[in-house]
Structure 1
């Protein structure tokens, strides 16, 4: 699977249970954001012909995979979980090298991948239908869940273990075959995940892995005539294109496109706990989470005290190489994302917001070749500013002062996104009102906006998500169809 002719490891496509080079013979370098001169590994720059092989392999495997039964499919996932668990340190280190997440965060994410696999392995022994009373008392009527068929999976770079696994695992256990295209920036980590599935001994063609450009492999996958469903997590622009292509073909689609996630801080909030949660939600993973805290809406009575403590604690954050001890926040995951964050810092200043902390590009010594920037906090932010409306996907907070909870909820809902939202308060009326009126798919009270639990449905409202929810039992809605069966003796 890994080339032995070069000091830099080269990862092949995985098609029909074989590690194969692309017909193009071209490779793509995966660059470490901690040092742009370091190539973590090389992956295939695949062609339409490569994609054709992958989709056809999945298509020809789908009937036999369906027939082995849900319980047997779950047993394969248990094997994968055990293999992944044995490789946590190696895969976490690769993740840190490839996309910059600190090593403790990377280990936590990889461990979460193990837990997701075991959760869906357990689905192998759970019900997949219901008995329904018939108007004919001499008949039996029931439903059963059947697989959709060939599922295309396209994932982003920010959670290169968890997101692929929370899509691949339910797709497989519910009887589908898969063609998986990861983001190029995290394709080496993704290849190591596929190694775990390969070692578990899945039948030929059940899981296929292919790397390359979005315009060739991603779009080609969505448009392929043998594809039955597509699940995508990534940018809003690309997500809208996925939805359009899927609708034109009449196939199932599930698209998650990010958020502009608010946190409301009420006058009666516990200041210490709130600041800790806001910093974690906004700056962990360098703010590169779709559920990351983006704007913090604070009641006037606590605003100054909250701001002072937020600034004090933010100043303590250490930024640097995520493999080193004591580093709290790593670099932006790529030069492109680094430039995006810098551009929004300039936009915020041009719009009249005041940068009161951070936002500095770090230079000198180990910083010169990486994409390091300090956590940034703006205040005097108006709701019509771009930094209050657009997803930055970086370590940037917009502080917004409001008079009361009602104004705070209105400000929180003033966005085209609706993924996650939090409130910090000790008033039951406030959090009940917030829970009822906030326009978000994930609502959290006295907890950071970025928390997601694998057994619970995940997805957003408005422009954040389209299609059925991911994770937990809700995943069954996307990866299966309902068949109603009527039997009369």
Structure 2
């Protein structure tokens, strides 16, 4: 079977490397299968992307926001028209189920529609000025050339989440998708290109980060970096960019907790937590990974979660009956299994899952069964470290105050949830937890495009993504005072 080669976008042109340098994209459901080959870019080729982005910056910034929005709206329509092909590649390169992949395509399109709507919203304001004959205004303008570094777990949605506000604000962009999952990012670039995006406004840097890291991060024309990924890498970016006039936005790790109080609707809580923990094979920064449960209902909640975990069908994302697909690659699978093994060695009990599924159909895939760990205390690594897989750690507490304390017992602060029928407890929980997102009787994940998104603590930087808040990162503020009584 022939393997397709996917070119890169440079200055409005689609190119394969002249010397044949490529990287294989593998199917995590069966790592023997090569899904596609992508260019393995070199540092000089990345520098060319910055050349093109810098050259296109003035023209794109000067274009009316309404014209920029027209390109973005057409791109949203194009993504929807091509959803079958894009979703198929997303399943193949990342392992999501078909339903998850199609949902991601639709939400990526929603980002472009949503931010296109900002073209007709105010971009500044008038301020009173005490000086006679003077009018002062505040204007927003693009920051310039932006680097977007995106992860493998949402390889279409996350680039769209960043690209859409960056483009409507008038910035030019270099996009670096994860090496494991570049195909759907290239689909996104092609949709924008085919919708009339001017040459140079977007370039895609594909290949091994080790080969092109310096060229990506050290270019003097770089004005801002938006990164989604692990906390250690985010911290290294902070250190690397320190002392330079480069704006940095980071959306990092999470150790999200759902608290089940004694008065909760237990059927709702169990069903919702299982979906938030095991959906997308737990590979969401907002996935529920800790469950804090009141002792009065702990037995029912744990037995419910075990039943949910055991009932989920594990398999290739392309099969209709699959609910839990593979993890992204063999290294990540081994990391998740190591976390589970270490938890057991430290005293946690494995109530469900805990291993890779058995059988020939799983032998060459990156699978881990949905796992429920019980008897977890706060000294265990599984309570504190991000696993990024289908694993939940359950801790039993006594009462509301203890539940809030347990939820807050983390360096991360991305998302949390509480299950209760008591409105006073719901409001008190929302006030006291230290997370950027709080849900009541809802999952820790599932935030819409117009809702500001981002965490506290080690989960990210002060700049939020999504909603109107996202534009604060991609724009800078200019104050202009004009004296108009000079007789001119």
Q: What is the TM-score when the length of structure 2 is the normalising length?
A: 0.97
Match for residue 397 of structure 1?
392
Instruction: Tell whether 2:310 aligns with 1:315.
Output: yes
Q: Alignment partner of 1:371: what SS?
A: coil
Which sections of structure 2, spanning at least 5 residues, go unmatched? none
Q: Alignment partner of 2:33: what SS?
A: strand
Q: Alignment partner of 2:241: what SS?
A: helix
What is the CA-CA distance between 1:365 and the residue it aligns to? Answer: 2.8
8 A Cα contact 1:147 1:480, kept in partner: yes
**What are the within-5 Å matches in structure 2 for residues 127-166 of structure 1?**
127-136=122-131, 138-166=133-161
Instruction: Tell whether 2:243 aligns with 1:262.
Output: no
8 A Cα contact 1:30 1:43, kept in partner: yes
Match for residue 28 of structure 2?
33
Distance 1:240 1:456 in 2: 25
What is the CA-CA distance between 1:133 and the residue it aligns to? Answer: 1.5
Change (3 A) 1:331 1:48: same
What is the CA-CA distance between 1:248 and the residue it aligns to? Answer: 2.9
8 A Cα contact 1:423 1:431, kept in partner: yes
**What are the within-5 Å matches in structure 2 for residues 5-404 of structure 1?**
7-22=2-17, 25-136=20-131, 138-404=133-399
Runs of 4+ with deviation above 3 angstroms: 22-25
Distance 1:122 1:211 in 2: 30
Worse overlay, 307-316 or 176-185: 307-316
What is the CA-CA distance between 1:137 and the residue it aligns to? Answer: 5.2
Worse overlay, 374-383 or 130-139: 130-139
Q: Alignment partner of 1:248: what SS?
A: coil
Deviations, residues 31-84 of structure 1 (Å, cap 9, x unaligned):
000111111111111111011100110001000111112111111101101111
Worse overlay, 122-131 or 383-392: 122-131
Instruction: Tell whether 2:460 aligns with 1:474.
Output: no
Worse overlay, 17-26 or 51-60: 17-26
Distance 2:83 2:445 in 1: 23
Distance 2:96 2:119 in 1: 33
Deviations, residues 374-419 of structure 1 (Å, cap 9, x unaligned):
1001011011211000000000000000001111111111111000
8 A Cα contact 1:96 1:323, kept in partner: yes
Distance 1:205 1:196 in 2: 15
8 A Cα contact 1:260 1:417, kept in partner: yes
8 A Cα contact 1:358 1:376, kept in partner: yes
Distance 2:466 2:119 in 1: 15
Distance 1:36 1:331 in 2: 11
Q: Alignment partner of 1:38: what SS?
A: strand
What is the CA-CA distance between 1:472 and the residue it aligns to? Answer: 0.8
Q: Alignment partner of 2:378: what SS?
A: coil
Q: Alignment partner of 1:184: what SS?
A: coil
Backbone CA RMSD of aligned residues: 1.2
Match for residue 430 of structure 1?
425
Change (3 A) 1:409 1:24: farther
Deviations, residues 186-218 of structure 1 (Å, cap 9, x unaligned):
101211111111111211100101101223334
Distance 2:396 2:132 in 1: 64
8 A Cα contact 2:83 2:102, kept in partner: yes
What is the CA-CA distance between 1:24 and the residue it aligns to? Answer: 6.0
Worse overlay, 388-397 or 361-370: 361-370
What is the CA-CA distance between 1:219 and the residue it aligns to? Answer: 4.2
8 A Cα contact 1:31 1:185, kept in partner: yes
Aligned length: 484
8 A Cα contact 1:29 1:39, kept in partner: yes
Distance 2:240 2:73 in 1: 35
8 A Cα contact 2:43 2:214, kept in partner: no
What is the CA-CA distance between 1:23 and the residue it aligns to? Answer: 6.2
Change (3 A) 1:24 1:392: farther
Distance 1:243 1:339 in 2: 28
Distance 1:196 1:470 in 2: 22
Distance 1:441 1:279 in 2: 21
8 A Cα contact 1:455 1:473, kept in partner: yes
Distance 2:299 2:274 in 1: 16
Q: Alignment partner of 1:159: what SS?
A: coil
Distance 1:187 1:238 in 2: 19
Distance 2:233 2:17 in 1: 24
Match for residue 3 of structure 1?
none
Match for residue 486 of structure 1?
481
Q: Alignment partner of 1:168: what SS?
A: helix
